[in-house]
Amino acid sequence: MLNLLLQNPIAFIIFMAGLLMSISIHEFTHCFVTDKLGDPTPRIKGRLTLNPLAHLDPIGTLAIILTGFGWGKAAPYDPYNLKEPVRDAALIAAAGPASNLIIATLLSVLIKFGIGGEFVALFASQLIFINIALALFNLLPVYPLDGGKIMHAVLPYQASLEYEDIMSRYGTIILIMMVFPWVGGQSAVSALLSPVIDVLLKIFL
């Protein structure tokens, strides 16, 4: 990402604008579903908004600028306000990646029907890439990502407790190690997700 900033600042700004918009929708969807499931915590904390500033995580934002992968501020919820805490926590976690895949699908339709012309198609294709990458990245089973919360919800009780203990201690450290490049200038996240992203882009584009 830093190379893009140095080589083409305008492309960097456009990419970051699309990414911040997609992260905002992602986090807003978490908060919206939480609110609909009966927990007013996001509303009380001012997170039920599409304003990117409400959803930016300092470390996650820095990771985005440096590596192209990052995350937003975790959507707050109180499990005691949920009727089915385990099930509802999984639904809340899944809502974010689902919103990104829905955006990618709608933009794919826009491109395939030629709506908006060449410039719109170019910007839409960038947004499709961003939203597919964001959805897949967030589904990795590592805290504080959505995949970690989904994993915690679907594991058997004892296994979920052990998983929660490990991830609450080391999840963020593991994630940071995964997003920053180590060997050959490629991060573990990029090595894992790039082949899947390429396959999905062929479908969506």
Quickly count: other Cβ atoms within 10 Å of residue 194's Cβ: 14
The answer to whether the CB of 179 falls within 8 A of the CB of 69 is: yes
183: confidence class by pLDDT, cuts 50, 70, 90: low
CA distance 149 to 49: 22
Question: Is-catalytic flag, 27?
Answer: yes
Q: Is 156 exposed, middle or buried (0-12, 13-18, 19+ CB in 10 A)?
A: exposed
Question: Which residues, in sequence order, are CB contacts of 8 under 8 Å at separation 6+?
Answer: none
Percent of residues in the chain assigned helix, strand, coil, to nearest 5: 75, 0, 25
Q: What is the pLDDT of residues 138-166, one digit of tens each?
A: 999 998 899 998 998 889 989 999 999 99
Full-model pTM: 0.86
Residue 67 has a pLDDT of 72
CA distance 6 to 137: 25
Residue 139 has a pLDDT of 95
Chain mean pLDDT for the chain? 88
CA angle 173, 185, 122 (to 5 degrees): 100
Among the ranges given (88-97, 98-107, 170-179), the one the predictor scored with the smallest mean pLDDT: 170-179
Residue 6 has a pLDDT of 67
Provide the 8-state DSSP code for 80: G
Using only the alpha carbons of the chain, give its radius of gyration: 17
